[in-house]
Amino acid sequence: MRRWLPRTLAARLSLIFLLSLVLAHGLSFGLQTFERYNSARTLMLSNFERDIATAVAILERLPATERPAWLARLERPNYRYQLDDGQPGTPMLNASESVSVRTILATLGPAYHISFQTIADSRPHYQAHLQLNDGQPLTIDVRPSIMPISPWLPVLLVAQLLLLVLCTWLAVRTALAPLTRLARAVDNLDLKRPAAPLDESGPSEVAYAAVAFNSMQARIAAYVKERVQLLAAISHDLQTPITRMKLRVEFMDDSADKDKLSNDLSEMQHLVKEGVAYARSTEPSSEPPLRLQLEPFLQSLVFDYADMGKNVQLLASADAVLHTRPQALRRLLTNLIDNALKFAGAAELNVSQNANGLWLLQVLDRGPGIPEQELADVLKPFYRLESSRNRDTGGTGLGLAIAVQLAASLGSGLRLRNREGGGLCAEFELLY
């Protein structure tokens, strides 16, 4: 049964409401029509009975010469009288099954011998044959018809169905609007760019859900902020004792232990700096967006690396003007280029426009790459590969995590993929 149900809640509620209302309306309409049909049929048969009895009585009392003049007066839309043997037909079998036949038999049967014949016609047609008291034949020609339906009734039915559809749509939309707003607020939940709280007005259930969501959003933001502040505080406070320890190591006699201890302290200091940088990258950015010419910006970045003797090349550029945060973009590209230089010794920067019309920036290298099953894991904080990117390289596991946070602050998402022929491609889109 689930396979036949619509996938959306709005469609399911609409289907349930429409089916129930249409069935209830159809049942009510059917019962009303049936009752109206029975009432009209009873009234019609009663009139038919009185009219036949009256017409035969009048014809009995009139002289034979005056009877033809009265036939037109006694004629009705569904039956009329003939002073002859009528049309040839076939004897009616089970004559008592017809309601009008039973009415004729009940009205005239005790006084007259009546025979019925069915006449071949495009609609129901039969004749009742009897003889008046003076021996003159009388034929009652009957064409039964179905009770006519008022022409406005189908129009009214269609109008009622349209009203049901409209009311169902309004009811479902009103009921699901708060749920839609809540789902949209959950999708747009971003601790770096706090959104306006949900409107807490409306029915009690809607207001309660909005209050619960606003409270949850505030608690999550406070919890994340506390964790980030804790990480930043620990990383910052560790710099002072590490610096003192490095100074003390400088006064030690030269030895293998001194070199090892100095290397460990340098690694610790680097890890602390990366921790502070990661904590800052998770906080909301206070840098205002500015208009930026992309090509001069990328060229200046490449020239800076060239001045340091680093092999960084700009493969393609574009004369585009963007509205973005230059410092965050520079930090993001620097992290990705440094990562490529560390593991491949060279980096390439490429710019292109994707199918959506957005500018796509790619940082390419020909390093060892990353196993496919770990492409998503390396973007997590403190995740390190033990094979191609091991601890000997000095990595802390925070470089790509910081890049992810910076890309998110620019309204984009960082993606990694392995290149054909070896190497890694880190790419993200720039919004206008």
Q: Give dist(CA 306, CA 314) in Å, integer.
A: 11
Q: Give dist(CA 299, CA 353) in Å, integer.
A: 18
Q: Give dist(CA 291, CA 277) in Å, integer.
A: 25
**Mean pLDDT of the 249-255 span:** 81
DSSP-derived secondary structure for 307-348: HTT-EEEEEE----EEEE-HHHHHHHHHHHHHHHHHHHSEEE
Q: Which residue, 353, 289, 298, is CA-closest to 323? A: 289
Q: Exposed e or buried b for every residue in 232-261, given b needs 16+ CB within 10 A?
A: beebeebeeebeebeeeeeeeeeeeeeeeb
Q: What is the pLDDT of residue 263?
A: 82
Reported as a single tens digit per residue, the pLDDT across 143-158 is: 887 666 667 777 887 8
**Cβ atoms 118, 90 nearer than 8 A:** yes
Q: What is the pLDDT of residue 432?
A: 62
Q: What is the pLDDT of residue 136?
A: 92
**Cβ atoms 398, 278 nearer than 8 A:** yes
Q: What is the pLDDT of residue 394?
A: 46
User: Which range has the top average pLDDT, 102-116, 165-179, 207-221?
Assistant: 102-116
Alpha-carbon distance values, 101 to 44, 49, 79, 142 (Å): 13, 10, 12, 9
Secondary structure percentages of the chain, helix, strand, coil, to 5: 55, 15, 30
The domain defined by 2-142 folds into Beta-Lactamase (3.30.450)
Q: Which residue, 275, 220, 272, 281, is CA-closest to 245? A: 272
What residue spans in the chain does CATH classification 3.30.565.10 cover? 288-430
N- to C-terminal Cα distance for the chain?
Answer: 47
What residue spans in the chain does CATH classification 3.30.450 cover? 2-142
16 vs 227, more confident: 16
Share of the chain above pLDDT 90, in %: 16
Asked if residue 264 has pLDDT above 90, the reply is no
Q: What is the pLDDT of residue 388?
A: 43
Q: Give dist(CA 104, CA 100) in Å, integer.
A: 6
**Mean pLDDT of the 268-289 span:** 69
Q: Please indicate, yes or no, whether the overall pTM of this predicted structure exceeds 0.75.
A: no
Asked if residue 237 has pLDDT above 80, the reply is no
The domain defined by 288-430 folds into Heat Shock Protein 90 (3.30.565)
Which residue has 């047609």 as its token pair? 125
Please provide the average confidence, as pLDDT, over all residues in the chain: 81
Cβ neighbors of 359 (< 8 A, separation 6 or more) are 294, 318, 320, 322, 351, 352, 353, 429, 430
Q: What is the pLDDT of residue 54?
A: 92
- Lookup: tokens for 316: 């393609």
Reported as a single tens digit per residue, the pLDDT across 304-359 is: 999 999 999 998 777 788 888 888 888 889 989 988 998 889 999 988 888 777 88
Q: What is the pLDDT of residue 234?
A: 76
Interstrand relation of 346-353 and 321-324 (parallel, antiparallel or unpaired): unpaired
Q: What is the pLDDT of residue 356?
A: 77
Asked if residue 215 has pLDDT above 60, the reply is yes
Q: Model confidence at 63, in pLDDT bands (50, 70, 90)?
A: very high
- Lookup: tokens for 215: 């409270």
Asked if residue 364 has pLDDT above 80, the reply is yes
**Cβ atoms 324, 285 nearer than 8 A:** no
Tell me how crowded residue 93 is: count the other CB atoms within 10 A of its CB.
Answer: 8
Q: Model confidence at 28, in pLDDT bands (50, 70, 90)?
A: confident
**Mean pLDDT of the 365-390 span:** 76
